[in-house]
Chain A
Amino acid sequence: MGRTVATITQHLNETEAMLQRFRRTLRRQDQVLFDGLMASAHAHIAAISEAQALLPFEVALLAMLLEQHRQIAHLNQRVADLEQSFGMFHPDAR
């Protein structure tokens, strides 16, 4: 916890508060996605803090990308597993 500099959690909460009107304007289903995106940044607060960035939200965006990349990797793996279980071959494997 810093004395003068706000913590990353405070930064993220303030950014979320600042983006409230943006969120409000989104459609309901997009609001849910937006909340999930912001939540995914919260999973990497320690790493964002260690980056010591002047603008922490830039690194928070990287954390969101990381989470998305993880989900893509996870889905890829599931697709590969399903294809294997159905006896299909991945096009890249040919």
Chain B
Amino acid sequence: MRAEILGWLLDVYTRPSGELVCWLLGKDGQRWLLPMDFPVTFYAGGRPEHLRQAWRAVTDSSVQKARAVRADLFGREQILLSLTAPTPGQAGALYHQLSTTFPHLDYYDADVPLGVRFMAYTGVPLLGYCRFQTDGQSLISLEPLESPWELVPSQPPLRVMELTCSSDPALKLPSTLMLHCGTWVYHLALQPLRAFLANFQAILQRYDPDVILTDYGDAWFFAFLRESAPHFNPNRDPIMPVAFQRERSLFAYGQVLYRARQAHLFGRWHIDRCNAALFGEIGLEGVLELARVTGLGVQEAARKSPGAGITAMQMHTALRDRVLIPVAKAQAETPRTLNDLIQHDRGGLIYQPLIGVHKYVAEIDFTSMYPYIMVNHNISPETLGYHDATSGLVPRTLRPLLEKRTALKRFLCTLDRRDCRVPLLQARQKALKWLLVVCFGYLGYKNARFGRVESHEAVTGISRELLLQSKEVAEELGFTVLHMYVDSLFVWHAKSTREEDFTPLLLAIERQTGIPVTLEGVYQWLVFPPARRHPSIPVPNRYFGAFNDGRVKVRGLALRRHDTPRFVAETQWHLLSLLAQSENPEEHAEAARAFAKAQLSRLARRDVPAEDLKVAVKLRQRPEICLRPGPAAQAARQLHERGVTIRPGMRLFFWFTRQGISVTQPPPEALDLERYARLVQRAVDEVLEVFKPPPPLSLQLRLDSFAFPACTCPQRP
């Protein structure tokens, strides 16, 4: 019997048979797992004789073969072999077979994520409100009732179960698990195993969660379940086993990253909070927003970098606009002269700040500067060099994203900070922010499908020009520009102390550049400290200050670093809080020094909990190839001796001891207190060095610590 139901599309996936399954949540709370007919088309291009061979090689009668003419990103039409498989699974297998047999052919639209393809062809986004028809066995039709760009989308009533364990499984096997299901909390002992499994299964069946949030679920829990109870299936879809993806270390964004093994569920989601890089910042609400706008499944969106999200969005635009999506990037960089490289191969404009303590400084930020440049100036690989080009693929992808985030931020400004909607809206706008942050980098990424380094350089070139224009506008209005950093300016004026005093400048900059700017705030005082190597060398990305409303902002200090022990970070934070108590931080410098001294005394008396002295360092390379192993490599070796598998990119925890380092908590007398005292002193100096009284004349003359020898000292006439 056919039924028409209102509800939400939560996920799509393929079963081992290859068919597509939609997981839907009805408005009445009923969960549906319904197969759907979903043929998938991909293309092969190349020399005609090779295409004919490929045509003959496809013998499966269920696959439709045809000749097609399609255009790529640059509008070049190509004659292609079109292959349509009846199910996504069959299409994947066929692509794998063809690409192995005919590796020299170019393939298009072959490796698009299923959610993206589904969204492009049905118009229904993941997490989107929709109307669907079913006969109880399969999904007959699906109709979107909501766009992914809704400012306040409807929320599916999800059931969330949280699972935490009593210890880090890498160091010690947990003895108990805590399960939070709504208002209920269960403590389950892992031993005896049979009782644990029975209890866990009973809770899973009774509560029937849509989302399982875990700590170490990827790295340990689901692998533990598979090994200890191979027949236990935590999926809602009984046909599907848990899908494991192998662990890996990768180099991205200038650092070595570690991605633990992943455990994906079907018919419900599993998110490991310890293996989802952005989860701490954007939470479940942000992850759902990412899935909604990118088309990546929730489990992928939580674990993958925002770059994967932007690529998925570009793929969606390309599918919708019938632009071919190459499996591998097709265009190479054109040869360039050295002069051309010197002119264009550069990043954003970074100024050198004026060192010292400054009063009443305004920080002005451009809102999503690079995405706005890409949209306003129509920057995309295919539009480069054309002044009258129609909107490119990248701006077409970014425009709704940018508009949604700007609207969200405007909406947030209208709400009271205590409004219960604020944290959720903040999480969503932060998730969108991350997509916008990486969209620029992806233009220049060598493997980006729709990237081209020249367009990346065009963005930075325009940004430098706009920042210089902003500086000129500020100086024309009588402001002193203390610092500029890519998309923000720090300005000062003797008569401007309140936020409204800076409004004319904000309006003038907006008028000049065409990009919205916001006032981050007005600092009561702001410090740009000098570099450690020389007192007159400024550091662009290190500053701290207190806003008029009492907030303290810190960049580049020890407390922002992940490897700083908690005790050191808290000491530095307390110093800043002391200084922030008045508009003249110099007045509290003495109290701050006294506090620093007291903290050092506490350390000397061993009055600091060992947990607060724990150091966390990321392992950059395999420890066995380190010639002079640093603390991270030593920690890795110790853990390896204890049977723990170590991979580059992992974050390792240890303590400094008199013998070196220790990955287990040492007794207080074994701690290397001198080393910790040096760390504290360095953190104190970072903050208080600038408040030391200057040497009377030499500093003003910038002949720091220089003194003429007595014999050559010029004599007063």
Interface residues of A (CB under 8 A from B): 1-5, 7, 29, 32-33, 35-36, 39-40, 42-46, 49-50, 52-54, 67, 71, 74-75
Contacts and interface: CB of A to CB of B under 8 A. Distances in A.
B351 interface: yes
B534 interface: yes
B481 to A, nearest CB: 11
Contacts of A42: 352, 531, 534, 537-538
A36 B214 CA distance: 55
A53 B342 CA distance: 8
A74 B701 CA distance: 8
A75 B444 CA distance: 48
Given A3-B453, A43-B536, 20 more contacts: A2-B346, A3-B444, A4-B341, A4-B345, A5-B341, A5-B345, A29-B706, A29-B708, A29-B709, A32-B704, A39-B534, A40-B702, A42-B352, A44-B352, A45-B350, A46-B351, A52-B342, A53-B342, A67-B702, A71-B701
Contacts of A35: 534
Nearest to B539: A42
B464 interface: yes
A49 to B, nearest CB: 7
A46 B485 CA distance: 10
A44 B345 CA distance: 19
B218 to A, nearest CB: 33
Contacts of B704: 32, 36
B17 interface: no
A64 B339 CA distance: 25
B703 interface: yes
Contacts of B453: 3
Contacts of A50: 349, 464, 468
B59 interface: no
Interface string B672-707: 000000000000000000000000000011111111
A40 B349 contact: no
Interface string B232-275: 00000000000000000000000000000000000000000000
B30 interface: no
Given A3-B444, A50-B464, A71-B701, A45 B352 contact: yes
Nearest to B534: A39
A45 to B, nearest CB: 6
A4 B536 CA distance: 29
B629 interface: no
A2 B456 CA distance: 11
12 contacts: A1-B347, A2-B347, A3-B444, A5-B342, A5-B346, A32-B706, A33-B706, A35-B534, A36-B534, A39-B536, A45-B350, A67-B702
Nearest to B530: A39
A54 B350 CA distance: 20
Contact of A43 (B352, B468, B484): B352
A36 B347 contact: no
B715 interface: no
A36 B538 contact: no
Contacts of B62: none
Contacts of B338: 54
A36 B515 CA distance: 39
Interface string B166-189: 000000000000000000000000
B61 interface: no
Contacts of A39: 534, 536-537
A42 B350 CA distance: 12
Contacts of B709: 29
Given A4-B341, A39-B534, A33 B703 contact: yes
Contacts of B701: 71, 74-75
A44 B453 CA distance: 27
Contacts of A36: 534, 536, 702-704, 706
A29 B339 CA distance: 40
Q: Which 6 A-B pairs have the closest CB atoms?
A: A1-B347, A2-B345, A39-B534, A5-B345, A42-B537, A32-B706
Contacts of A53: 342
A50 B342 CA distance: 10
Contacts of B342: 5, 52-54
Interface in B331-381: 338-339, 341-343, 345-347, 349-352
B611 to A, nearest CB: 38
Contacts of A74: 700-701
Given A33-B706, A39-B534, A39-B536, A49 B341 contact: no
